[in-house]
Amino acid sequence: MSQENLTRLLQTIADLPTLPTVYMRLNRLLQSPNSSASEIAKIIESDQALSSKVLRLVNSSFFGFSRQVTQISHAVVLLGFNTVRNTVLSISVFESFKTTSNHIFDRRQFWLHSIATGLIARALARKLNIEQDEEAFSGGILHDLGKLVLDQFLPQQFTQILDMAREQNCSLLEAERIILGTDHTEIGEYLMERWNLPHMLVEMVALHHTPSVMRSHPTLVSLVHIGDALARRLKLGFGGDHLVPDIDPFALEELSLTPDMLENMLDDIREQIHQSDDILALVN
Ligand SMILES: [Fe+2]
Ligand SMILES: [Fe+2]
């Protein structure tokens, strides 16, 4: 689909969700070099629900701090600005797509798929000593954002797409292209650009099914691509169809991995995910 047609399709959706103002304010503050932990904490504290989720997350085994954290300002210092931003972003997106009228698509299973993809991408990044492990996690959480847009705003077409994927045993991506002429990667990219999210994140969403398309962050894109494939293989959550996609050889090469090496990492990755399963509290 041309960019123009995609834009037209999405403009027919009157109210695409906006990101909560808290995230916008936080983002602005984090971009200024003089922002302090207490200023950042103040913004987060202005939103009760967000504060309690941040604290819950900080105290989960996902981050693995040994002592109980009760103050947001303390959490900000412990996590660092970048991780705070990514954490608040993930929580904000969960909140923006909370309600659903379509009961065909199981949102909880969808979030499990998204979180598992993020956790696997992060675990791989750590194993491979890639510094941007938290970015890989956020990219994994957000990678199928376009499916949420479809579920929420084009429920009839999305039902057709889900049916087609099931009946013809094809991927959601293929069904989307046939029925809509676009797919969840383009839709996710469009929304994230509207939200002015960092380029790196947009790229992971846009290219997670086509990692060999070259832009600026092939390593992060490859991590999310593999995370998605492994989450499906390990049957963690449900992304909308039952296919287990092949891993693009480009992604393996980009990370200097062979299929055997990846195979050998699976037990470890499974273990890390198991240890982080309290992050699922985010979707409850
Ligand atoms: Fe996808
Ligand atoms: Fe996915």
Q: What is this structure's pTM?
A: 0.90
pLDDT at 202 over 90: yes
- Each residue's pLDDT tens digit, 57-66: 888 887 888 8
Name the average pLDDT for the chain: 88
Distance between Cα 176 and ligand 1 center (Å): 11
Residue 101: predicted pLDDT? 63
- Each residue's pLDDT tens digit, 214-270: 999 999 999 999 999 999 999 988 999 989 999 999 999 999 999 999 999 998 888
Least confident of 19-23, 106-110, 125-129, 275-279: 275-279
Distance between Cα 135 and ligand 2 center (Å): 16
Among the listed residues 211, 144, 145, 154, the one whose alpha carbon sits nearest the alpha carbon of residue 179: 154
Distance between Cα 256 and ligand 1 center (Å): 23
Under 8 Å between Cβ of 251 and 225: yes
Residue 252: predicted pLDDT? 97
Among the listed residues 121, 146, 167, 162, the one whose alpha carbon sits nearest the alpha carbon of residue 269: 121
pLDDT at 103 over 70: no
Distance between Cα 158 and ligand 1 center (Å): 14
Residue 99: predicted pLDDT? 67
- Give the integer Cα–Cα distance in Å for 200 and 221: 9
Residues near 231 by beta carbon (within 8 Å), at least 6 away in sequence = 113, 116, 117, 120, 237, 239
What are the residue ranges spanned by the domains of the chain?
18-96, 100-283
204 confidence band (pLDDT: 50, 70, 90): very high
Distance between Cα 114 and ligand 2 center (Å): 7
Ligand with smallest separation from the Cα of 237: 2
Protein fold of 100-283: Hypothetical protein af1432 (1.10.3210)
Output the CA torsion sign for 124, 197, 98, 102.
negative
Distance between Cα 41 and ligand 2 center (Å): 33
Mean pLDDT computed over 122-130: 94
pLDDT at 276 over 80: no
| Tokens at 107, concatenated | 């949102």
- Each residue's pLDDT tens digit, 1-27: 567 777 777 777 767 777 778 888 888
pLDDT at 110 over 80: yes
Mean pLDDT computed over 199-217: 96
Residue 281: predicted pLDDT? 63
- Give the integer Cα–Cα distance in Å for 268 and 63: 17
